[in-house]
């Protein structure tokens, strides 16, 4: 293991999200952490995602592991397979719908380095309501989508219950062993984009917005950051100013 910069494997489970996937891949490629790989898993009938990955592999230096799973495979089994295939000492969840700051991996790993903690999550993130073009400062909670965890520890809490629909039991396991570092002051590292077709129902997200604080001062910048025009393959624009939110 590279003790100063161990390999961190980002796990991306995606399905028929070719547009937002291109943004997530661009965010991954721009990470300032120097030793990463991307494990991306998609269903066998998802030809649009295949086309995106084919182009990335042919034109990028991203270290990538591709997993094609059966269409009806349970999500937790898919995650198990991806985690086991990862070569990294740490696993980072990489959601294809959302936006990741250039410092996300390095900042989440930095709090673990030379500490007793073996995992970290963000307790505040930015929420963006795409339909209404509004930005919110989230309520305080463990945002499971932001988990970064040492692989060997994660394997102890492996996603064996394939009927489970979320990762809360994993976070509970890490918290119970006092291995989870809660990052409370870096909401800019993650923008959760709500498109009204995400996996929970409308009431869930409306409750999230209700518990959050509406932000107007950075809303225009967030709109720019998540704008897909900057990320489509073949037409990527410069966005250096966007990393400063």
pTM (two decimals): 0.90
Which domain CATH number covers 72?
A: 3.90.550.10
Which stretches of the chain are assigned E, i.e. beta strand?
8-13, 36-43, 64-69, 90-93, 99-100, 119-122, 126-129, 134-137, 148-150, 180-183, 190-194, 213-215
pLDDT higher at 34 or 131: 34
Strands 36-43 and 99-100: unpaired
| Any domain includes 185 | yes
Q: Would the pLDDT of 180 be above 90?
A: yes
Q: Would the pLDDT of 98 be above 50?
A: yes
Average pLDDT over residues 147-158: 90
Average pLDDT over residues 198-209: 65
| Any domain includes 232 | no
- 37 is in which domain, residue-wise? 8-122+140-190
| Any domain includes 98 | yes
Average pLDDT over residues 234-239: 44
Quote the tokens at residue 37.
Answer: 């790989």
| Any domain includes 127 | no
* H or E element at residue 21: helix 18-29
Total number of domains in the chain: 1
List all residues 6 or more positions away from 172 whose beta carbon is below 8 Å from its beta carbon. Answer: none
| Any domain includes 163 | yes
In the predicted model, what is the mean pLDDT of the chain?
A: 88
Quick one: which of 196, 188, 185, 197 has its CA closest to 225? 188
Give the lowest-confidence range in 20-29, 73-82, 110-119: 73-82
């Amino acid at each position: 293991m590279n003790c100063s910069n161990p390999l961190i494997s980002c796990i991306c489970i995606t399905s028929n999200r070719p547009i937002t996937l291109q943004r997530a891949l661009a965010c991954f490629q721009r990470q300032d952490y120097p030793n990463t790989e991307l494990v991306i898993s998609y269903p066998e009938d998802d030809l649009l995602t295949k086309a995106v990955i084919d182009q990335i592999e042919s034109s990028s230096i991203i270290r990538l592991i591709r997993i094609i799973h059966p269409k009806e495979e349970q999500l937790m089994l898919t995650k198990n397979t991806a985690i086991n295939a990862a070569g990294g000492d740490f696993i980072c969840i990489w959601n294809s719908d959302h936006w990741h700051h250039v410092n996300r991996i390095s900042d989440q790993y930095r709090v673990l380095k030379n500490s007793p903690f073996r995992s970290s999550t963000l307790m505040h993130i930015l929420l963006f309501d795409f339909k209404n073009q509004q930005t919110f400062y989230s309520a305080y909670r463990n945002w499971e989508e932001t988990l970064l965890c040492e692989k060997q520890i994660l394997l102890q809490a492996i996603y064996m219950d394939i009927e489970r629909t979320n990762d809360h039991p994993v976070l509970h396991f890490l918290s119970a062993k006092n291995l989870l570092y809660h990052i409370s002051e870096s909401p800019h590292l993650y923008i959760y984009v709500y498109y009204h077709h995400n996996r929970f129902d409308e009431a869930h997200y409306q409750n999230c917005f209700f518990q959050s604080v509406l932000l107007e001062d950075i809303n225009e910048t967030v709109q720019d950051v998540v704008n897909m025009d900057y990320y489509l393959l073949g037409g990527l624009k410069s966005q250096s100013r966007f990393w400063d939110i």
